Structure 1
């Protein structure tokens, strides 16, 4: 097996790795990198010759480039879980609409439709064969429907983690690591140099801040990813009693319906109960009416760039009684990062000082440093390839692994590594 890297090297975003066997060529994910200009995977030679695609999960940094690659000639089945298939279809379609607001995307809407038609659903722990390669999906514990993939070919065993999380959350169980030793792993290192606080402590501090703000008459605006984070926060908030309504705005509602339909959550009954007790914001008029009174608002986008959260920022950022709470990773160049670094955001193209409170809480769905070490110890690969992380995170984790006697690679764009 040979790996060729078209993205997510020394960066978080545009995950795309080409896997070449003696008889076939596969693409492991095809994502985008969001920013002032959307970045796509580097050019893939003879893309019409790709045998099949593999999609680890629905987040756009892993799924968003499939339509773009279809426009370049990709025409092969893309294998993923049923939940990821349905979530990714919605995200790809929505991303195209959002992209059109800023500039002309490098592909057409029919390419998005075609990409969705290429998806084929597979079950966890159910092996399937394509030419001279065998694939098996395992629950990655990252978001509902996420998977890491075991690939066997020519006597070698390779794991591609996609994004992975070993710890249980209210929403889903941690990764399923019950598999045999492997030869090599391509693993994310988003937090290769950082530990996450305990989830219970984070929840406690988060709920305490909400109560504090509500007590002084403020409103709570929670920036949350529509996939995974929104649902976890719905469960958390539904575990407490509140004297104000809880609203969900953005795509979170549709994502919740898909997850419940596919039994992709840990406790379907609790998720259904939480869904039934919140109020759904269905447009600008309802949003304006909801903002007239005190409440807790969960809204996408999680990085505060795009989505309904920008409307809440526009109307509510000047009130010091209010609070905007970030609940996950924020990229450089996003409103979320600017808010944390400078206390400013872009509102209708203007850099604006935020008078409301703002804080970030670590509800990460990625493995922290100790969990990444545990992953390596459990699977015990001989060869380790680090992707999906910032350079300092990768280098620190690579140093640790080399001291343990591991063969470690940090690829560059276009790098080729034999397994």
Structure 2
């Protein structure tokens, strides 16, 4: 088996791995300025996608240019999420050099889409492939690939602890080689129960004081997790932005949710914002919780809410996840001021950060990898891949950290 890394090696973003020059795993984007895409000219016979986040599916329609029509294999939620993200990309960048595909190419995705559930074996480009729940977001999958001689497990992004939205991965299929993500290889997450308790107590305090809580959240996964937390603790909330549509989408696939009834209750508990007739500005003056995109304050309805609440020290902005360096969210956390919606704001509202990550941390990664003590490991999807590979070697694993463009013969 030949494995070549076209992106996602030594970085988070633009994940893409070629197997035997015929099968492509993921084809994502890296949201730099300008965006970055996988390297090399690829023309796969088939594509298999691990999950529906931009860094794994963002450039998928570009594979359907010209006469190329490779079948694309994924779970049903991943297909739906990929189509939604592609539509969003066209809205933001369509018709510019920053968009890697056209509306016509996006529409072709439907023609070549092949959906599969977990543990349903299928054929792709002469390989046997099987999906296993990865516990990251609805529809996320570990991908097991067998070319008749070698079994490769591509972990995709995964979590080894339960979230309210999805159950943790428990799958440990036998494999001859492993490609493992390492996003939080150098981080120990605070226990989720403790994070949730701190968040709930902080929110309740602000509401009791008459303040407003704005929670910037990623549309896919994080918005729904926060909705579930609010409902579980009887906290009313508003939900705004792309997360509204994504919530409707994932609810169409209850088999990929940990507790579909809880998600239904969370949806009933939330009030949906339409944005009409100054609704957002009115809501921003209520003692309430507003869950809104974008998670790093780089766009979306947050551009209205933050300027409205920023000057009152009773109010809070509660970040729900990691803020990438260079984003307005990171700038605000580091300096207390940021460019928000074309305004430079010195924020008096309280700033808090909570780690609701959907990735395994250092302990979770090591726990997962304990099942593969005798399996060669290729470390990818992280800013500290080389460091983590060295740590694994010190612990007795056979681990390497490939670079982008590297080809490895197994």
Q: State whether structure 2 residue 390 is matched by structure 1 residue 396.
A: no
CA RMSD of aligned residues (A): 1.9
Question: Is residue 413 from structure 1 mapped to residue 394 from structure 2 by the alignment?
Answer: no
Unmatched segments (≥5 aa) in structure 2: none
Say if 1:103 and 1:279 are closer, same or farther in 2 by CA, change over 3 A: farther
**What displacement does 1:102 show?**
8.8
CA distance in 1, matches of 2:200, 2:388: 33
The answer as to whether partners of 1:79 and 1:120 remain within 8 angstroms in 2 is yes
* Other-structure match for 2:245: 254
Alignment-derived partner of residue 104 in structure 2 = 110
Report if the CA contact (8 A) 1:35-1:334 is conserved.
no
Which of 285, 302, 313 is the matching residue for 1:309? 302
Runs of 4+ in 1 over 4 A off after TM superposition: 100-104
Identify the range of structure 1 (82-91 vs 96-105) with the bigger mean alpha-carbon deviation: 96-105
Contact 1:185 1:381 in 2 (8 A): no
**Residue in 1 that maps onto 2:49:** 55
Partner of residue 349, structure 1: 342
Shift of 1:4: 1.1
CA distances 1:234-293 after superposition (whole Å, capped 9, x unpaired): 111111234xx4100012222122222111211111111110121100124332332232
- Residue 13 of structure 1 corresponds to 13
Corresponding residue number in structure 2 for 1:319: 312
Which residue of 2 is the match for residue 162 of structure 1? 156
- The 5 Å alignment of 1:35-50 reads 35-44=32-41, 47-48=42-43, 50=44
Structure 2 CA distance for partners of 1:153 and 1:102, relative to 1, 3 Å: closer
Q: Deviations over 1:305-342 (max 9, x none)?
A: 12211221232222222111111122222112112222
Task: Summarize the Cα distance change of 1:355–1:117 in structure 2 as closer, same or farther, 3 Å threshold.
Answer: farther
- Shift in Å at residue 345 of structure 1? 2.1
Paired residues of 1:324 and 1:356 also in contact (CA < 8 A): yes
Distance in 1 (alpha carbons) for counterparts of 2:206 and 2:5: 47
User: Per the alignment, in what secondary structure is the counterpart of residue 305 of structure 2?
Assistant: helix
| Aligned residue number for residue 62 of structure 2 | 68
How many Å separate the matches in 1 of 2:114 and 2:78?
Answer: 10
1:93-108, aligned counterparts within 5 Å? Answer: 93-100=87-94, 105-108=99-102
- TM-score, reference length from structure 2: 0.94
Give the Cα separation in 2 of the matches to 1:280 and 1:79. Answer: 33
CA distance in 2, matches of 1:116, 1:338: 39
Q: Is the 8 A contact 2:27 2:38 kept in 1?
A: yes
Contact 2:7 2:404 in 1 (8 A): yes
Which of 186, 194, 204 aligns to 1:211? It is 204
Matches of 1:363 and 1:166, distance apart in 2: 13
Change in CA separation of 1:102 and 1:338 when aligned onto 2, cut-off 3 Å: farther
- Say whether 1:136 aligns with 2:130: yes
1:276 aligns with 2:268: yes
TM-superposed CA distance for 1:126, in Å, is 1.0
SS of aligned partner of 2:3: strand
More displaced 10-residue stretch of structure 1: 351-360 or 82-91 = 351-360
Asked if structure 1 preserves the Cα contact closer than 8 Å seen for 2:9 and 2:402, the reply is yes
Aligned 8 A contact 2:297 2:340 in 1: no
* Partner residue of 2:355 out of 354, 362, 375: 362
User: What count of residue pairs does the alignment treat as equivalent?
Assistant: 408
Contact 1:19–1:27 (Cα < 8 Å) also in 2 = yes
Residue 5 of structure 1 aligns to a residue whose secondary structure is strand
The equivalent residue for 1:234 is 227
- Residue aligned with 2:157, SS: coil
Counterparts of 1:323-342 in structure 2, within 5 Å, are 323-342=316-335
Stretches of structure 1 that go unaligned for 5 or more consecutive residues are: none
Q: Give me the whole-angstrom Cα distance separating, in 2, the residues matched to 1:73 and 1:34.
A: 28
Contact 1:33 1:39 in 2 (8 A): yes
1:381 deviates by 4.9
**Correspondent of 2:365 among 367, 372, 379:** 372
Report if aligned partners of 1:35, 1:333 keep a CA contact under 8 Å in 2: no
Q: Following TM superposition, by how much is the alpha carbon of 1:94 offset from its aligned partner in structure 2, in angstroms?
A: 1.2
Paired with 1:18 and 1:340, the residues of 2 have a C-alpha distance of 38
Q: Is the Cα–Cα contact under 8 Å of residues 139 and 147 in structure 1 kept in the other structure?
A: yes
**3-state secondary structure, aligned to 1:324:** strand
Q: For residues 95 and 353 of structure 2, what CA distance do their matches in structure 1 show?
A: 28
